[in-house]
Amino acid sequence: MINLRSDTVTQPTAAMRRAMAEAEVGDDYYRHDQTVIALEEKAAELFGKEAAMFLFSATMGNLVSILSHTKRGESLLLEERSHIYNNEAGGLAALAGLTPRTIRGERGRMSPEQIKEAVFPDAVLHPQTSLLCLENTHNAAGGVCLSVEQTKDLADTARSHGLKIHLDGARLFNSAVGQGVSPEDLTREVDSVTICLTKGLGCPVGALVLGEADFMDDARRWRQAVGGGMRQAGVVAATGIVALDTMVDRLAEDHSNARRLAALLTEAGLIVDPLPDEVETNIVFAEIPAALMDAKDFVQGLAAAGVQVNPPGARRIRLLTHHDVSADDIETVGGIVRKVLGP
């Protein structure tokens, strides 16, 4: 089975499995787990931040960051298709007590002018705006990247209105590799950032939150409050060290495979977004035209032939390349798509 459902389906590498077996561990509550500490220090240095914290997931990382930056009854700004707003079970409302104010971006990218317009006036009638959340890469927009300059412009605008800035960087390394810039450059202007160690980096579990030391003190407290306290977590943190050492540069292969996949799907008659030459990272969306085939039948036909994707949303499917999908696999997928669609 060629699994294109998500980059979350990747299997840990042999090096990761060895690192898990051999990891030095201790109780993280007492800050005695040297492997966790080594991962956090390595990440903080890589991103040029004062501190880092290891936790279970990027969703948890986004939540504890939002809780640390805001107070109940306030509002925050997000792009309307952002992962935090749509795909994190409403934690910002249910647990943080915040009012989301969404902005329709252009391919997921908000503008400084939109930020200015969305900040609530300083009046007792409104939930005061205290936080801007960005996403890089933007999942639902097709893995598009925010540049260093775009991030700075948005952060400068937010800061001029007294807002903190949190970056959902679940696939930040894809953005850095895709643009040929450093993770530090992409996160210099934000107050906090979440990094996922699963997805393209291939770890079985784990994420990082990075920021200044005072922020991290609050974030550790909130991690505990939402049930994220850990004990001998070095067993999984060890895979994060392997990922940072060995899995970042190879993301370029996933991006190349995604562009080739987009081209093959286009040749087969699907409507691809972004267009093949506009694919920036490892995410491709494709619409199955009604004249060609029913979308559900198409997905079922792929599965029967050995290609797995998630059920369609309307007529649209999402396909992600990752470590366990090779260039040869992509060519195979192209042939299977043509076969399923028929003459």
Q: What is the CATH number of the domain that holds 264?
A: 3.90.1150.10
Do residues 109 and 239 both lie within one domain?
A: yes
The tens digit of pLDDT for each residue in 256-314 reads 999 999 999 999 999 999 899 999 999 999 999 999 999 999 999 999 999 999 999 99
Residue 343 pLDDT: 76
Q: Is 268 part of a structural domain of the chain?
A: yes
- Phi and psi angles of residue 17, each rounded to the nearest 5 degrees, phi first: -65, -40
Q: Would you place residue 38 in the very low, low, confident or very high pLDDT band (cuts 50, 70, 90)?
A: very high
CA distance 126 to 181: 39
**Cα torsion through 148, 142, 195, 257, rounded to 10:** -100
Pure H helices in the chain: 14-22, 34-47, 58-69, 83-86, 91-94, 112-118, 148-160, 172-179, 183-187, 213-225, 234-246, 251-267, 295-305, 327-341
Give the end of a domain, one of 199, 217, 245: 245
Distance, in Å, from the CA atom of 103 to the CA atom of 38, rounded to the nearest integer, reads: 38
Q: Which residue among 222, 245, 268 closes a domain?
A: 245
320 residue type, one letter: L
Asked whether residue 258 falls in the same domain as residue 241, the answer is no
Distance of CA 72 to the CA centre of its chain: 25
- pLDDT above 70 covers a percentage of the chain that reads 100
**How large is the average pLDDT for residues 321-332?**
98
Q: Does residue 232 form part of some domain? A: yes
Strand 192-196 relative to strand 164-169: parallel, antiparallel, unpaired?
parallel
In contact, 188 and 177? CB cutoff 8 Å: no
Q: Which of 201, 223, 245 is the last residue of a domain?
A: 245
Tell whether 57 and 98 lie within a shared domain. Answer: yes
**304 exposed, middle or buried (CB, 10 Å; 0-12, 13-18, 19+)?**
exposed
Three-class SS state of 196: strand
Does residue 279 contact residue 297 with C-beta atoms inside 8 Å?
A: no
**What is residue 168's predicted lDDT score, i.e. its pLDDT?**
98
The answer to whether position 1 is within a domain reads no
How much is the mean pLDDT over the chain?
97
- Residue 328 and residue 294 share a domain: yes
CATH at residue 174:
3.40.640.10
Q: Is the residue at 2 inside a domain?
A: no
Give the containing element (helix H, strand E) for 99.
strand 99-103
Q: Do residues 134 and 234 both lie within one domain?
A: yes
Q: Are 182 and 289 found together in one domain?
A: no
Do the domain assignments include residue 48? yes
120 and 221: one domain?
A: yes
Do 272 and 185 have their domain in common? no
Confidence of residue 114 (pLDDT cuts 50, 70, 90): very high
| Structural domains counted in the chain | 2
The number of C-alpha atoms within 13 Å of 41 and in the hemisphere containing its C-beta is 7
Query: Quick one: how far is CA 169 from the chain centroid?
Result: 5
Q: Residues 178-190: what's their mean pLDDT?
A: 98
Radius of gyration of the chain (CA): 21
Separation of first and last alpha carbons in the chain? 24
Q: Are residues 282 and 225 in the same domain?
A: no
How far is 331 from 263, CA to CA, in rounded Å?
11
Task: List, for residues 55-106, the tens digit of each pLDDT value.
Answer: 999 999 999 999 999 999 999 999 999 999 999 999 999 999 999 999 999 9
In a domain, 5, yes or no: no
Residue 121 burial by Cβ neighbours in a 10 Å radius (0-12, 13-18, 19+): exposed
Q: Same structural domain for residues 315 and 203?
A: no
Quote the pLDDT of residue 338.
Answer: 97
- pLDDT tens readout for residues 7-27: 999 999 999 999 999 999 999
Query: Hey, which residues does 320 pair with through a beta bridge?
Result: 283
Average pLDDT over residues 111-115: 98
| The pLDDT value given to residue 272 | 97
Residue 223 to residues 40, 61, 73, 282: CA-CA distances in angstroms?
15, 8, 20, 30
Widest distance between CA atoms in the chain: 64
Are residues 235 and 254 located together in one domain of the fold?
no
Residue 291 lies in a domain: yes
What is the domain extent for residue 237? 12-245
Q: What is the pLDDT of residues 194-221, one digit of tens each?
A: 999 999 999 999 999 999 999 999 999 9
Tokens 């004249």 correspond to 291
224 within some domain: yes
* Residues 24 and 45 placed together within one structural domain of the fold: yes
